[in-house]
Amino acid sequence: MVGTRSLTRLLATLALVGASACGAPQQGPALSYGESARRDYERALGAYQDHDCLTATPLFQHVRREYPYSRYAALAELRGADCELEQQHFAEAIRQYRSFIRARPTHPDLDYAQFRVAVAYFRQIPQDFFLSPPREERDQSPTRSALRIIQRFVREYEDSEHVEEARRMERDVLALLARHELFVADFYLFRDHPAATVSRIEGMLEDYRGSGLEPLALVLLGRTYLHMGQPDQARVAFEDVVSHYPESGFATQAHRFLERMDSGSVDEGEPPEETPEEPTPDEAAPTETPDSEGDSADPVEGEVDEPGAEPGTETPSEGSASSEVDEVDEGSTVTDTHEQPGPERPAPPEPDRRPEDRPSTTP
Q: Which segment of 9-18, 89-98, 161-170 scores lowest on mean pLDDT?
A: 9-18
Q: 99-107 — which CB contacts under 8 Å span 24+ positions?
A: 100/74, 104/74, 107/74
- Residue range 190-234, pLDDT digits in tens: 999 999 999 999 999 999 999 999 999 999 999 999 999 999 999
CB contact at 8 A, 23 and 65: no
Tell me which DSSP letter residue 28 carries.
S
> What number of CA atoms fall less than 13 Å from residue 293's CA on the CB side?
20
**What does the mean pLDDT of the chain come to?**
76
CB contact at 8 A, 96 and 102: no
Q: Which residues contact 131 (CB under 8 A, 6 or more apart)?
A: none
Nearest one of 102, 101, 95 to 121, comparing CA atoms: 95
How many C-beta atoms lie closer than 10 Å to residue 322's C-beta?
10
* pLDDT given for residue 30 in this prediction: 56
Rounded CA-CA distance 6/259 in Å is 69
Q: Does 341 score more than 70 pLDDT?
A: no
Backbone angles phi, psi at 70, to 5 degrees: -90, 155
Q: What is the mean pLDDT of residues 41-56?
A: 95
Element (H, E) at 53: helix 53-66
What is the Cα gyration radius of the chain? 36
* pLDDT given for residue 266 in this prediction: 65
- Residue range 76-92, pLDDT digits in tens: 999 999 999 999 999 99
CB contact at 8 A, 124 and 146: yes
Element (H, E) at 112: helix 110-122
* pLDDT given for residue 33 in this prediction: 87
* pLDDT given for residue 351 in this prediction: 45
- Residue range 128-186, pLDDT digits in tens: 888 888 999 999 999 999 999 999 999 999 999 999 999 999 999 999 999 999 999 99
Q: Does 363 score more than 60 pLDDT?
A: no
Coil, helix or strand for 229?
A: coil
Q: Does 187 score more than 80 pLDDT?
A: yes
Q: Which segment of 25-39, 177-191, 302-316 scores lowest on mean pLDDT?
A: 302-316
Domains by residue range for the chain, with CATH: 1-20+32-107 (1.25.40)
